[in-house]
Amino acid sequence: MANANLSAAKRAKNDEFYTQWHDIEVEMMAYLNYDPDVFRGKTVLLPCDDPEWSNFTKFFAQNFDRFGLKKLISTSYAPASKRLADYRPSLFEQNSLQYDELKSQARGKIFVLDNDITGDGRINIDDLQWQYLEGDGDFRSDEVTRLRDESDIIITNPPFSLFREFVKWIEGGNKQFIIIGNVNAVSYSDIFNMIKTGKIWMGCTIHSGDRKFGIPDDYPLNAAGCGIDENGLRYIMVKGVRWFTNIDHGRRHHPLTLMTMDDNLRFSRHKDIRERGTYQHYDNYDAIEVPYTDAIPSDYNGAMGVPITFLDKYCPEQFEILDANSLRKNESVPIKTHGLIKDKDSAIDGKPRYVRIVIRHKR
């Protein structure tokens, strides 16, 4: 139900989901642990982050001096609902010194920080003296694109409905990034090709399970994954959330510990593998089906189809990602732009499987 609610939000372009402080903190610390200077001297742009509410903005403002940032820029989008005559801004916005009734209905916000506000590494919400942008704050606008061009790193939770376009926008500026998306974005041809060529990989800390996101006060609480927390804040639980990045971190270079093919067939914790007693081959591709990442055999030298969640543990020194088109068994199998095994062509004995990435051991 929570993902159905997310799909409805996509259709309505209602993507105002606020990332939790803890999820931001543990992910950013993973990069700092690998490279303590990863943010030092850098301009960080948060292009989908209302300075009133965004934990990204608060987190980086509070750690501005600690991380050695050069500049922090946070911008927000004024959605169509804010440009309607019956729009009512939040009490927080109305009480802000920067509030302007006419501008609030047409413009996004911007917050810029280029020095530690208090000098003690602490931040108070009242210190976030945001201003209005000239335009609505759409990341594709010339105004925000100019901010992209002056930044070094882009970090945010972009609208899930515009994820592919957002990544393309980042790529157009040749920037480093740490962003949140749905794991199913891996199956988009442009995203997967970036993964295959080493231009993007999964972040460090979110590998499975649901994630809680804050939602606006007017968001309907009509799904099992919605609720109100102990602080009175509304939230939704979303499945399949992942960090996507092109900044290195330590976990990416930890190889998987694997068993041999024979040991998997005898001792695997997965009953279906033990009972079948063999690894199956796809009807249309010269590769074996490996339905679980921990069931990848250590001694198989051929191509293997694995779940997209394999990317959570992908070590580029241990495996290479292949283009499934090169493994077609005959020319009647159509060439796919994404290079994945999916849809009806993923069949085994005529029965389609889930989306599979094709990998091979590096020897």
Sheet strands side by side (includes 288-289): 288-289, 304-307, 356-361, 319-321
Place 6 in a pLDDT band, splitting at 50, 70 and 90: very low
Q: Are 240 and 187 in contact (CB under 8 A)?
A: no
Q: How far apart are the first and last CA of the chain?
A: 44
Place 78 in a pLDDT band, splitting at 50, 70 and 90: confident
Helix (H) or strand (E) holding 238: strand 234-238
Percent of the chain with pLDDT over 70: 77
Residues 6+ apart with CB under 8 A from 127: 61, 117, 118
Note the pLDDT tens digit of each residue in 263-288.
999 999 999 999 999 999 999 999 99
**Paired sense of beta strands 131-132 and 211-214, if any:** unpaired
Q: How many CB atoms lie within 10 A of CB 18?
A: 20
Q: Is the pLDDT of residue 10 over 50?
A: no
Q: Is the pLDDT of residue 84 over 50?
A: no
Note the pLDDT tens digit of each residue in 95-151.
444 545 555 567 899 999 987 555 555 555 556 688 899 999 999 999 999 999 999
Place 13 in a pLDDT band, splitting at 50, 70 and 90: very low
- Identify the pLDDT of residue 52: 80
CA distances from 197 to 103, 126, 194 (A): 44, 44, 5
- Identify the pLDDT of residue 159: 87
Residue type, 294: D
Note the pLDDT tens digit of each residue in 42-54.
999 999 998 887 8
Q: In whole angstroms, what is the distance from residue 191 CA to residue 164 CA? A: 7
Q: Is the pLDDT of residue 167 over 70?
A: yes
Q: The whole model's pTM is what?
A: 0.84
DSSP lists the bridge partners of residue 154 as: 45, 177
- Identify the pLDDT of residue 85: 45
